[in-house]
Structure 1
Amino acid sequence: MEWILLLLLGLVAAILGSIMGLGGGIIIVPALMILSSYTTVLEGITPQVAVGTSLLVMIFTGLSSTLAYMKQKKVDYQSGLIFFIGSGPGALFGVWLNKDINTDAFLVGFGLFIIVVSFILMVRKYIKPLKRMSKGIQRSYENDLGETVEYGYQPIVGILIAFVVGMCSGLFGIGGGSLMVPAMILLFGFPAHLAVATSMFLVFLSAIISSISHIYLGNVDWLYALALIPGAWLGGTIGAAINKRMTSDSVVNLLRIFLVIIGIRLIYQGITGS
């Protein structure tokens, strides 16, 4: 029963992660930590193993989503590679921070982080993008309505933000899209669909770096990963298809509520130890 649950967890996490550009780890990691208290299969799982396993799974979520978004021609490869200059080293730094973290501290910190992310998701559509910088990289994108949308950013600013995103990815086992997508939309003026697709490309690249480091440190449970990966691969493709056909407002609202509940539960578990 637990293995079927893991398969479904990988599927649901990847669908939501692909729709929103989050990567899915923000659901997988807390779910593994919570399930460890209720199932014998996952009993005693550490934050390091939860994070390392999540990042390995996100390689497949990121790849399947990226391939689907490539067919839709929504991935900004140049921007993704520039951001990766920051997120790659950031991911390695996050892995280093993760290796000695206390379980209770991890649960409380991650719970607070998830609640902050839910707040970002709540306010992001009400905040207008900052005025684009006259210098730096300037790009344009033609949306499905035939409208040309311009956006731009200073590479150094994008790299610094991506470093923080990569650090969170390596530390918490998330794809980092929960921070990168709002940053691309609010700070750089990216169209939402383009931001999500480019974020999944970045999730794929960052997850490779982070997961290799966690594999080296012995932080990956291969049985859990094998149970999660099939659902993650299928979910990444499904999520990209859903993203193309619908607005994400209803999904964002449900996800916000879901994240707040998870965040509170993790904080409680970290404080009480139960």
Structure 2
Amino acid sequence: MVFLILLVVGLASGIVGALIGLGGGVVLVPVLLFLSSSVSVFPNLSPQQIVGLSVVMMIFIGLSSTIAYMKVGTVDYRSGFIFFIGSAPGTVLGAFVNSSLDVPSFQLYFGLLLVFLSLLLLLRDRLKAVSWFVDHGKKLSFHDRRADQEYVYGYPIWFALLLTFFVGFASGLFGIGGGSILVPAMILLFLFPPHVAVGTSMLMVFLSAIVNSITHISLGNVPWIYTLAIIPSAYIGAKIGAKLNRSIKSDTLVLVLRLALLLLGLRSIYEGIFSS
């Protein structure tokens, strides 16, 4: 039963993570926190074990979806490696800070992050993109062959490194992929084309997840037996999500995700306050 549940959760994490560039952890972590605390047949995993399981999963979600996006030419390799350079030290620091958190503290802080992410997704379509970062950074271009449209985008490298350091820190601390923060920033601040933002984000998720996983493995945070269910289902889900990204609009899924993150975040905050 536990492995069947993990197969379903891994598949859903892979689909959502690859479809809108979130990385999958933003689905896996709150669901496993809920199952561990509320479902008697499910093992009582610690926040550190859940995060360890999540970051290992993200290697395979990132790999699967990055390969798919590379095939259709929506990965900006230069930007992806710059973002990785910024995020890598942040993931290491976040992983070490994670080891000092007890369950109520993790629930509280993670709940606050989920509420922030839900509001970020809610406001993403209402916020006006700014060109300041493009004007003060290196300009890049991308030609969307399907829409026959040329995009100009860019960013100051120093700001990209600073931003991705904090994205990496959140990823190491909470086991999320980082794309949930980075993709809206890439679109709104750096004027990335949405498909390129998602593809490039998944490259960064893949590379930073390797560093993140090594750190969590060294800390003993990975329950290896459960990776047997999570990894293959998440890999397949990421392939499905990347394919859906090219064929459907993800507005409906984003709306559902906003509400889910908000509810999960509020529940996590409640558990963190009243179980402490």
TM-score band (shorter)? Answer: over 0.9
CA RMSD for the aligned pairs? 1.3
What amino acid is the match of 2:239?
T
Q: Which residue of 2 aligns with 1:137?
A: 138
Q: Which residue of 2 aligns with 1:260?
A: 262
Q: Which residue of 1 aligns with 2:183?
A: 181
Q: Where do 5+ consecutive residues of structure 2 fail to align?
A: none
**Does structure 1 residue 118 correspond to structure 2 residue 118?**
yes
| Distance change in 2, residues 1:61/1:82 (3 Å) | same
CA-CA distance at 1:41 after TM superposition: 5.7
Alignment check: 8 A CA contact 1:84 1:206 kept:
yes
Q: Percent identity?
A: 49
What amino acid is the match of 1:211?
S
**Does structure 1 residue 98 correspond to structure 2 residue 111?**
no
What amino acid is the match of 2:91?
A
Q: Which residue of 2 aligns with 1:218?
A: 220
**Does structure 1 residue 152 correspond to structure 2 residue 139?**
no
TM-score (norm: length of structure 1): 0.97
Q: Which residue of 2 aligns with 1:57?
A: 57
What SS does the aligned partner of 1:150 have?
Answer: strand
Give the distance between the partners of 1:223 and 1:54, measured in 2 at CA. 13
Alignment check: 8 A CA contact 1:129 1:187 kept:
yes
Q: Which residue of 1 aligns with 2:16?
A: 16
What SS does the aligned partner of 1:37 have?
Answer: helix
Alignment check: 8 A CA contact 1:91 1:168 kept:
yes
CA-CA distance at 1:220 after TM superposition: 0.2
What amino acid is the match of 1:50?
I
Q: Where do 5+ consecutive residues of structure 1 fail to align?
A: none
Give the distance between the partners of 1:30 and 1:206, measured in 2 at CA. 21
CA displacement 1:26-70 (0-9 Å, x = unmatched): 111111111112445643311111101100011001100001111
What SS does the aligned partner of 1:36 have?
Answer: helix
CA-CA distance at 1:135 after TM superposition: 4.1
Give the distance between the partners of 2:41 and 2:122, measured in 1 at CA. 35
TM-score (norm: length of structure 2): 0.96
Give the distance between the partners of 2:196 and 2:219, measured in 1 at CA. 35
What SS does the aligned partner of 1:138 have?
Answer: strand
What amino acid is the match of 1:48?
Q
CA-CA distance at 1:134 after TM superposition: 3.1
How is 1:185-264 mapped onto 2 (pairs within 5 angstroms)? 185-264=187-266
CA-CA distance at 1:136 after TM superposition: 2.6
CA displacement 1:99-145 (0-9 Å, x = unmatched): 11121011011011101101100111122221143343211111221
Q: Which residue of 2 aligns with 1:85?
A: 85
Give the distance between the partners of 1:124 and 1:174, measured in 2 at CA. 19
What SS does the aligned partner of 2:37 have?
Answer: coil
Q: Which residue of 1 aligns with 2:46?
A: 46
Give the distance between the partners of 2:169 and 2:151, measured in 1 at CA. 30
